[in-house]
C-alpha cells in the first residue's frame, strides 16, 4: 500500500502534467467573464407583467448576477438587445472573450435559427435561461430553437434561474468543459 502511495505520483508524471494543463486552462477561462445576454423586451422587466416575470428590473438582475459571480470568483458581462443581429454578434464575440454564456433570448428563443447557428459555433459552455416556465404558457413558447446548442436549460424560477445558471457554468468551467 505504502509502496503504491510512493510510486503513484512518480509513475504518473504524464497524468500530473495533464492535470496541470487542465488547471491552467480552467484558471485562464475563469479570468474571462461569463457573458449574460438578454433578448428583446427584457429591458421592460419590472415595468409590466410582474405576475409572469417578477418585480425585478433588468438592472436588479444585473446586480444579482454580478453578486453571484463574485461569490464564485467570476465576473459577468451583462447585456440586453432588442436586435437579433446584435445578439448573434455578441454570441460570436463570446467564442473568444467569454468563459461561459447565459442566454435568455426572449421571444427569439422561439424563432431564431440565426441564434441557434451562432450558439452551435460557440465552443464555450452555455445555459439557456427563462424567467417564466415556457412549458406552462402558450403552445408557441413550448419550442426553443436554441436548446439544441446549450448544455442545459433553466426555466420557471424567475431571477434565481440566472444564479443557478452561473453556478452550473462555474462548475463546467472549473471542470474544463469546452461546451
Ligand atoms: O420567460 C422568459 O424569460 C422569456 O424568455 C421572456 C420573453 C418571452 O418571449 C419568452 O417566451 C420567455 C419575453 C420577455 C418580455 O419581457 C417583458 C417584461 C416585462 C414586460 C413586458 C415584457
Mark 68-91 as b/e (b = at least 16 C-beta within 10 Å).
bbeebebbbbbebbeebeebbebb
Sign of the CA dihedral 51, 55, 60, 66?
Answer: negative
At residue 158, does pLDDT exceed 90?
yes
Closest residue to atom 6 of ligand 1, CA basis:
106
Q: pLDDT per residue over 3-29, tens digit each?
A: 344 445 556 777 777 767 666 666 666
Higher pLDDT, residue 33 or 30:
33
Nearest to 86 by CA among 126, 114, 57, 127: 114
User: Which atom of ligand 1 lies nearest, measured to the CA of 141?
Assistant: 11
How many angstroms is it from 97 CA to the middle of ligand 1? 27
Mean per-residue pLDDT for 56-70? 98
Nearest to 128 by CA among 95, 97, 164: 164
How many angstroms is it from 40 CA to the middle of ligand 1? 8
Whole-number pLDDT of residue 22: 65
β partners of residue 130: 155
Higher pLDDT, residue 47 or 115:
115
Ligand 1 cavity residues, CB under 6 Å: 41-42, 44-45, 47-49, 53, 104, 106-107, 109, 130-132, 134, 141
At residue 39, does pLDDT exceed 80?
yes
Percent of the chain with pLDDT over 90: 78
Whole-number pLDDT of residue 24: 62
d(CA 101, CA 173): 11
Name which of 49-58, 79-88, 98-107, 154-163 the model is least confident about.
49-58
d(CA 45, CA 156): 15
Closest residue to atom 9 of ligand 1, CA basis:
107
Asked if 124 contacts 98 with a C-beta cutoff of 8 angstroms, the reply is: yes
Whole-number pLDDT of residue 10: 52
d(CA 114, CA 128): 15
Which stretches of the chain are assigned E, i.e. beta strand?
34-38, 76-80, 100-104, 126-130, 152-155
Q: pLDDT per residue over 135-149, tens digit each?
A: 999 999 999 999 999
At residue 64, does pLDDT exceed 70?
yes
How many angstroms is it from 42 CA to the middle of ligand 1? 6
Q: pLDDT per residue over 92-138, tens digit each?
A: 999 999 999 999 999 999 999 999 999 999 999 999 999 999 999 99
Catalytic residues: 53, 130
Amino acid at each position: 500500500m505504502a509502496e503504491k502511495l510512493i510510486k503513484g505520483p512518480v509513475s504518473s508524471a504524464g497524468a500530473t502534467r495533464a492535470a496541470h494543463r487542465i488547471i491552467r486552462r480552467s484558471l485562464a477561462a475563469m479570468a474571462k467573464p461569463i457573458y449574460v445576454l438578454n433578448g428583446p423586451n427584457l429591458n421592460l422587466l419590472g415595468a409590466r407583467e410582474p405576475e409572469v416575470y417578477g418585480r425585478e428590473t433588468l438592472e436588479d438582475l444585473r446586480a444579482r448576477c454580478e453578486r453571484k459571480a463574485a461569490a464564485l470568483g467570476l465576473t459577468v458581462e451583462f447585456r440586453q438587445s432588442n436586435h437579433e443581429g446584435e445578439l448573434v454578434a455578441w454570441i460570436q464575440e463570446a467564442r473568444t472573450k467569454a468563459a461561459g454564456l447565459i442566454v435568455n433570448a426572449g421571444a427569439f428563443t422561439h424563432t431564431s435559427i440565426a441564434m441557434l447557428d451562432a450558439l452551435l459555433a460557440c465552443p464555450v459552455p452555455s445555459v439557456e435561461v427563462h424567467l417564466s416556465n415556457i412549458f406552462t404558457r402558450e403552445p408557441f413558447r413550448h419550442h426553443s430553437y436554441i436548446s439544441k446548442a446549450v448544455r442545459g436549460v433553466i426555466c420557471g424560477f424567475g431571477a434565481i434561474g440566472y444564479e443557478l445558471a452561473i453556478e452550473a457554468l462555474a462548475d463546467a468551467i472549473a471542470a474544463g468543459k469546452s461546451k
